[in-house]
A and B are shown apart, each in its own frame.
Chain A
């Protein structure tokens, strides 16, 4: 099948953790753990910890456990046992070395994918417990370097990639010009107050994947959508602060996003194909700010494409001929219930859709989500090794005939790229937007 992943170095060098650990005292650890648990958790954590009967039924749910030869260390309950239970049992009296292992577990051995919660007879949400561990890690200043750097970028620029205020509108204008070579009258309307829709993306799009903005603009233009993009900070819907446990910063980012939409007087925010960003605007960030639901409705790209296709606002000239399989991103499927809409879109634009198994809300995580890929190169092999089960799943889909893998999420896209490459699966990976752009009728296009 494939080469086994290279043996992981025993100890990863990560300045974010190493420097932070060196500054810790046992007193500080104890005080921080106890204050987070006392002030910020309450009934939920208590109920989870008291309800768990250590039955291990959750183990089979976790791709890390399944990929690591059923090593109990990687089982969901095993992760709690090595972190939160010890912290509670010892009333916060744990060592800096214990905390180093806790960082590894919470940040690089759990994607907060919530698959395990479906397998637990009591619905215990291990991801929530890992989030509390990450909050403690944040407060102790021992978050892995790469994701901490990303949180710093968020704090300065309100976006994930240090994109400066002028670089953003400049990039949009450049993409508009590029797209006008194809559709001469196409616009990316900036700061158009009163448009129906504000389109928001994550910062890797302007930074590295500007063609995705181009494609989205073509789709909007052809569909005749009254849309706009902000020219100010608030355009980025991503949120690594959510994953580092910096809730205050997460709230600041989400406020900026929603206030930008409110300022532009739009009715909806349509967001690109990203999963974690959806979680941050639809669940975590909005709620931290006091909104039960997003104050301006959020429409994920999957749902948006579904609506456009269903209403005939975009028409498919020629369906994508290569057989595809569809990856269900955790945050928009388990977290947002978009699995059937995703299938509607896939079938509308592709000749043949081959299901991978398990699928829908039971799908395996990509192992990149939950901020794990954002912890950077030191953990790449662990992430790839930790998801052999995904490679096997993709192989089976390939054996069934699938040649292209659709992943309507940025993190999944990157994570699965690593899996596909390492295990030599040989599949093309695409966003829905890539295929729609390729397959759709473009009446205004020069050679359309």
Chain B
């Protein structure tokens, strides 16, 4: 997690001109604001086939043949995937990693932002690179890239068996496995999909398919001894390293922990499970019946259901509260502790809890204008762009990052001013 204590929580407003960048460059792409709100950045086209990044009006020193996937690391460093002379790598604050690759993509950050990983391909061989250092091992194919929360470990599904196109029976013998920090498991599977790295970095759990029909979860290469007709992505318990995954049993979905079914109820659908930070509660998106979606906490669904979609589950830091985004028709809603807010939106982003868990805020959009909603009260500003609101460590203030009338604004406001 990021320590935001050192951020400027006093200056009520800072403004950076943004629209005038358009006069300096051929085009300016969609902007990104830094987590602390001090910087606004965008990929800019300088000339034909010449790209750069503009940060607070200043470009990086060098231009590149291509720049894409501009993203701030949680610690505020600005990264982008860049290419020069047909080679690709990651640039951090304008400086490319020394090693270049045939292609580099899928930037991932540790939660403190210190470790940055990308997937890389060189001469059609695949591996992952962390902070510019690639795995020693390479594989003929790789998918499902995973970075541990502290960024010390990387993992992916890798191909370890050979088969030619059309050799379906060879494929069905199993040609894939998972690799943790480049080291592949000994066991081969027909498929290896989403995976998770344990909090201590020692274990890796993944969805696997043993043949065309039997699915299960494999932990450190060893599949659970029971199989299911399907499974979804596993997660680790934050404290005790158990593995939890939805599994399909007799046409319905159940929650399994270390291969034992833990919730009484079965669901038409069950996925996106998350633990509360202390691991005491487990929540997931569920469909209790066909076409009805909600959230279940420890297997008990909220009474309210939604027709289309429930997404973006967020636990409060004490695990007592839970917020989510829901959609019905063209209307997006915020739901907190099973209650739907009155205000509705054309789009809503993942809710954020204040450190004392009293407030919930979300970035929202209506009729093409962006703003922030806090405890169901909509901020009056209608912005051209907005980023997720951030609470100060003491929970008294809130940081807004927006673009209004062509200018980028960093604002600090007392929470009470919006909460009323």
Contact = CB atoms under 8 A, between A and B. Distances in A.
A138 B168 CA distance: 13
Contacts of A194: 347, 365
A165 B293 CA distance: 31
Interface stretch (A68-76, A82-90, A141-149, A363-371): A141-149
B291 A156 contact: no
B382 to A, nearest CB: 15
Nearest to A268: B330
Contacts of A267: 330, 346-347
Interface in A413-438: none
B142 to A, nearest CB: 7
A166 B103 contact: yes
B106 interface: yes
Interface of B: 26-27, 29-30, 45, 48-49, 66, 68-69, 102-103, 105-106, 119, 121, 126, 141-143, 159, 165-166, 168-169, 171-172, 176, 190-191, 193, 209, 212-213, 215, 229-230, 248, 250-251, 268-269, 271, 287, 290-291, 293, 307-309, 311, 327, 330, 346-347, 349, 365
Nearest to B69: A191
Contact of B290 (A145, A165, A248, A292): A292
Interface in A139-190: 139, 141, 145-146, 148-149, 152, 155-158, 162, 164-166, 169-170, 173, 177, 180, 184-185, 187, 189-190
Interface of A: 15-16, 19, 39-40, 138-139, 141, 145-146, 148-149, 152, 155-158, 162, 164-166, 169-170, 173, 177, 180, 184-185, 187, 189-192, 194, 231-233, 246, 248, 251-252, 255, 262, 265, 267, 289-293, 295-296
Nearest to A165: B143
A201 to B, nearest CB: 19
B216 to A, nearest CB: 13
Which A-B residue pairs are the 8 nearest by beta carbons?
A: A292-B291, A290-B269, A290-B287, A295-B309, A166-B103, A290-B268, A248-B230, A295-B308
B311 A262 contact: yes
Nearest to A293: B308
22 contacts: A40-B251, A141-B212, A146-B166, A152-B168, A155-B190, A162-B165, A166-B105, A169-B68, A170-B103, A180-B48, A189-B29, A190-B68, A232-B106, A233-B143, A248-B230, A252-B230, A255-B271, A289-B269, A291-B308, A292-B291, A293-B307, A293-B308
Contacts of A190: 68-69
B119 A165 contact: yes
Given A146-B166, A166-B105, A293-B307, 7 more contacts: A164-B126, A169-B103, A189-B30, A192-B30, A248-B215, A262-B309, A293-B308
Contacts of B330: 267
Contacts of A255: 271
A210 to B, nearest CB: 17
Contacts of B102: 166
A248 B229 contact: yes
A183 to B, nearest CB: 12
Contacts of A138: 212
Contacts of A149: 165-166, 168, 171
A122 B328 CA distance: 34
Given A189-B29, A190-B69, A289-B269, A296 B309 contact: yes
Contact of A165 (B105, B229, B251): B105
Contacts of A233: 143
A29 to B, nearest CB: 15
Contacts of B66: 173
Given A149-B168, A265-B347, A156 B212 contact: no
Given A194-B347, A248-B215, A157 B143 contact: yes
A445 to B, nearest CB: 15
Given A173-B66, A173-B68, A292-B307, A19 B169 contact: yes
A158 B192 CA distance: 12
B190 to A, nearest CB: 7
A325 B21 CA distance: 49
Given A166-B105, A248-B229, A231 B69 contact: yes
